[in-house]
Amino acid sequence: MNKPLIGIIGGAGFTAGELIRLLIHHSEVEIDFIYSTSNAGNKVYKIHQDLMGTTELKFSNNINPNVNVLFLCLGHGNSKLFLEEHTFSDHTKIIDLSTDFRLEADRNFNGKNFIYGLPELQKRNIIKAKHIANPGCFATAIQLALLPLTCSNLIKYDVHINAVTGATGAGTALSRTTNFTWRDNNFSHYKAFTHQHLGEINQTIKQMQNNFNSELYFIPNRGNFSRGIFVTAYTKFEGTLEEANKLYKNFYRDAAFTFVSDEDIHLKQVVNTNKCIIHLHTHHNTLLITSVIDNLLKGAAGQAIQNMNLMCGFEETEGLQLKANYF
């Protein structure tokens, strides 16, 4: 029996590199093409150099419109342009990793209805979906930190969020704040209170908790490490730590990749995995939620494959049983 064929649009970036690595070793699918006009004809390992000896795949400037699953790894705003210019088979499932279809106002596009692909929230809808808007990296870590509260109507006050992302969160393009000499031994915040992922986070919270009228005060930070997101969020909470832990563990009891730890957590537990690990702490009437993910995997390519697995009827964890870079 032939395996489902996979197409990847935009193959040179960090996220596409992770996607290619995972799909090469996925037992249920086969990569048909990796589309990149700037690298057409070059072997993939010329760009993603760790793949030397693993694959002889080449980048292509040809597109097979009949692939079973299409991943869009394009810059924000370019997925819409691409789908306006290219037509795919009615059976082709599309997973977009940009911001283009994440908000409710953008979900319906040229007859395609994009489902927001956060499996811990939307698993049933994802299983039936043909088109997925993969969540953002910060949005994933923050929503997973807050979902058990908002789904129980327990966010009654403002939420203060501080999150640090590694250098890969900025993509491969060089700028003053992405080069090594600037990042090394350095730390800074950016887009304070206005980060683009707030749109999808607020949207989810308001959909789950109709009476939510508080503020999310979000400070994103640049860390001097390569990958990972470390989130701390706190808000007023009227229950005990035991009640909070029970709420979170019950909410994520069937989640394939999200876990609640009784011990303090750190980034090395999740880097190079599709896991999200959460820890809770109370101080007087305040609940502190810590959430950690790998921004390129659970925050991007890993979650995209998790969505593909659900859409195609594969085991949810297929191709995603990865070892953390712990040492």
Q: Tens digits of per-residue pLDDT, 60-101?
A: 999 999 999 999 999 888 999 999 999 999 999 999 999 999
Q: What is each CA distance from 78 to 97, 98, 282, in whole angstroms?
A: 11, 8, 43
CATH superfamily for domain 5-134+300-312: NAD(P)-binding Rossmann-like Domain (3.40.50.720)
Catalytic residues: 137
Q: Give CATH 3.30.360.10 domain extents, the chain.
A: 137-293
Start and end residues for every CATH 3.40.50.720 domain found in the chain: 5-134+300-312
Q: Is the pLDDT of residue 182 over 80?
A: no
pLDDT digit string (tens) for 277-316? 999 999 999 999 999 999 999 999 999 999 999 999 999 9
Question: Directed axis angle between helix 119-128 and helix 137-150, to 10°?
Answer: 100
pLDDT at 59: 95
- 215-230 pLDDT, tens per residue? 999 999 999 998 999 9
Residue 171 — pLDDT band, cuts 50, 70, 90? low
- Please name the residue ranges forming H helices in the chain: 14-24, 44-47, 78-85, 119-128, 137-150, 180-183, 198-208, 241-251, 301-312
The predicted model gives 172-183 an average pLDDT of: 66
Identify whether the C-beta of residue 112 lies closer than 8 Å to the C-beta of residue 83: yes
Across the chain, mean pLDDT equals 94
pTM above 0.75?
yes
By C-alpha distance, which of 68, 69, 10 is closest to 34?
A: 10
The answer for residues whose C-beta is within 8 angstroms of residue 41's C-beta and 6 or more apart is: 58, 59, 60, 61
> Does pLDDT of 170 surpass 80?
no
Taking the C-alpha atoms of residue 320 and residue 214, their distance in angstroms, rounded to an integer, is: 36
The superfamily (CATH) of domain 137-293 is Dihydrodipicolinate Reductase; domain 2 (3.30.360.10)
